[in-house]
A and B are shown apart, each in its own frame.
Chain A
């Protein structure tokens, strides 16, 4: 979009601002907030929006306050954080590899987390409090390190990264299948719920790691995203323009792996969010710049997971549908409509 851009100047500082993008991000921020309040307000016991605000301010009645502060708010925040982290991670992976089909679970990072978590559930009987999230986090990091280490050969080439990644993913997937055929059906069923992705019973202890990761990593990804724009021109050109190609790629991939690990460790292997959020973002933002794409993808992921969890809680109450089932049912039709409408598709699909 040859957008309405304005250039702000103040003495020696100047910045070009894409007004359309600012408006889009503002709109998305409002949608995220609205989804958050709605998530907190709705459930078995509906709480009026004003009472929600009162409880948040510490002025509600005790029952409302317990439901809002201890049950629904942390769960909604986990949905928000995990969705945002997955959206950003997906955008980074697709842009770095320049492949529109790539997502953290396709290059084995999600698979590493899944293999570790499922092994702990099936073979160690959940292994005590906090063992499964920790295992998932560790699995994602190990897989990420293996991916980068194996793919490195005088630099990490996008295509080689993807190919090594699918090898890694296939290996992890086979490991998961093996664990699922070996275990007893009770543990296998529990492992399956983890593989689908669920937010049931998530509390503040899952919120904090997500918050820390997002506060530290999201700005770093945005800063590197500017350099990534130059990377899209091809390695040689980027290098001649003075961009440290390998360092930018390593920094971005490390951040994306960390974001994936934290998200998956909190919510389970929620599929589709990391893949689809960047695609939705590309079509909403109509920009090829990563600086624009990455925050929009994060916001899309957050909205998607929050709405999916809300729908999963409400639709068949009192039975809860795990969030990972709802995300694709919710996002797929929307994405297909966008796909049909799009005439030409952007740089990465």
Chain B
């Protein structure tokens, strides 16, 4: 297990004595994050190529009339905001689960080849089946993600030595690369498909209707339940398999449950919005920097912060390129990456 553990190297880092957060401060922090999320949601309803004042937003929600403003809020922005919350929360939770299970700081929703499988399925949908509507990609992406994750678990979990996180991660990296190759094999020779695909693969919330949100909702909800239940087990796994076993944890079963939750969440997110980079990777680190290494808190923080970050990115994307918009996947990475680097540099590293 020492393979992916990085705890040994942390001895070189001077320990800064920070007061241990109590349950009250942690809960207060979570409430603060929820308030932040609510603000982002309001901004997402009000801001766009056509700005709508806050009172009108409230009126549109409570007592809708037939005006254009109210129609925009109810029919376009409410579904988009709901989808943003769902996808962002899924990405945050999926990242926390995967980093906890593999104890590797760079584990993220793309790591088990799930985004790769979804991308390949979408390319097939465009190139072979001839579909060219964003909501219709959802089913294909979901199927692609499911098939790939099944393959990864079969490849990584069988064979001598059983399913160790390293083997799963390696099998995932291989599948990611393989699906990318097959995707490229189509795209290199088919510029027309590339022309469609390049906008999907960026990751965006634009043009998705309520149907998209409803079709991923059950997967995401099941995933959230598994993620929230996994916190205690992830804490034990963080101590290493031997200690976890001595504490009465069934390491294999805990990992399988976390893995299933991860697949549901990451699959739902990529199916609905395309492979949005970086949110799933950075948000758990952010959560850990705020609340410490306890996964019973890291998971809920990641859920709320993931939703807030994704919505904020989506709103910013609508502001910077007015009247057009910049895809949320680009915004979150371009702005999120420098912020993430700043956090990593400033904070004492929390070991996984």
Residues of A near any B CB (own CB < 8 A) = 98-102, 106, 150-151, 153, 155, 157-160, 162-164, 166-168, 170-171, 173-175, 177-178, 180-181, 185-186, 188-189, 192-193, 196, 234-236, 271-272, 275-276, 279, 319, 321-322, 324-329, 332, 335-336, 339-345, 347-349
CB distance from A33 to the nearest CB of B (A): 27
Tell me, in angstroms, the Cα distance from A347 to B3 when the chains sit together: 6
Q: Is B167 an interface residue (CB 8 A)?
A: yes
Of A101, A171, A279, A335, the residue contacting B338 (CB under 8 A) is A171
Pair A188/B344 contact, Cβ less than 8 Å? no
Contacts of A173 in B (CB 8 A): 277, 333
Residues in B neighbouring A186, C-beta threshold 8 A: 191
Q: How far is the CA of A155 from the CA of B180 in the complex (A)?
A: 36
Query: Which of A150, A276, A327, A332 is in CB contact (< 8 Å) with B345?
Result: A150
- Residue from the list B11, B170, B178 in contact with A339, Cβ < 8 A: B170
B183 CB → nearest A CB, Å: 9
Interface string of B319-344 (1 = CB under 8 A from A): 00000001101101110111011001
| Contact in complex: B198, A163 (CB < 8 Å) | no
B349 an interface residue at 8 Å Cβ cutoff?
A: yes
Tell me whether A185 and B11 are in contact (CB under 8 A). no
The smallest C-beta distance from A7 to any residue of chain B, in angstroms, reads 30
Q: Is the CB of A185 within 8 A of B194?
A: yes
CB-based nearest B residue for A177: B202
- In the bound complex, CA of A173 to CA of B329 (Å): 10
Query: Is B181 touching A155 in the complex (CB atoms < 8 A)?
Result: no
B177 touches A157 (CB 8 A): no
Contact B167 A345 (CB under 8 A): yes
Bound together, the chains give a CA A168 to CA B281 distance in angstroms of 13
How distant is A71 from chain B, measured CB to nearest CB, in Å?
22
B4 touches A100 (CB 8 A): yes
Q: Which residues of B contact A327 (CB under 8 A)?
A: 181
Q: How far is the CA of A100 from the CA of B336 in the complex (A)?
A: 25
- Total B residues in contact with A, Cβ cutoff 8 Å: 66
Which of A100, A164, A180, A321 is within 8 Å of B166, CB to CB? A100
Complex interface residues of chain B between 150 and 185 (CB less than 8 A to chain A): 155-156, 158-161, 164, 166-167, 169-171, 173-175, 177-178, 180-182, 184-185
Query: A348–B166 Cα gap in the complex (Å)?
Result: 9
A160:B349 contact, CB within 8 angstroms:
yes
Min distance, Cβ A175 to any Cβ of chain B, angstroms: 7
Interface pair A181/B281, CB less than 8 Å apart: no
Q: Is the CB of B167 within 8 A of A322?
A: no
Q: Are B334 and A171 in contact (CB under 8 A)?
A: yes
Could you tell me if B181 and A325 are in contact, using CB atoms closer than 8 angstroms? yes
Min CB distance A291 to B, Å, is 21
B105 at interface (Cβ–Cβ under 8 A)?
A: yes
Q: CB distance B333 to A171 under 8 Å?
A: yes
- In the complex, residue of chain B having the shortest beta-carbon distance to the beta carbon of A151: B345
B4, B189, B194, B334: the one within 8 Å of A174 (CB)? B334
Nearest residue (CB) in A for B5 is A98
Contact (Cβ within 8 A) B106 A336: no
Ordered by A's residue number, 13 sampled pairs between the chains whose C-beta atoms are within 8 Å are A100-B3, A100-B169, A163-B106, A166-B106, A174-B332, A175-B334, A178-B202, A178-B326, A189-B194, A276-B177, A332-B178, A336-B171, A339-B171
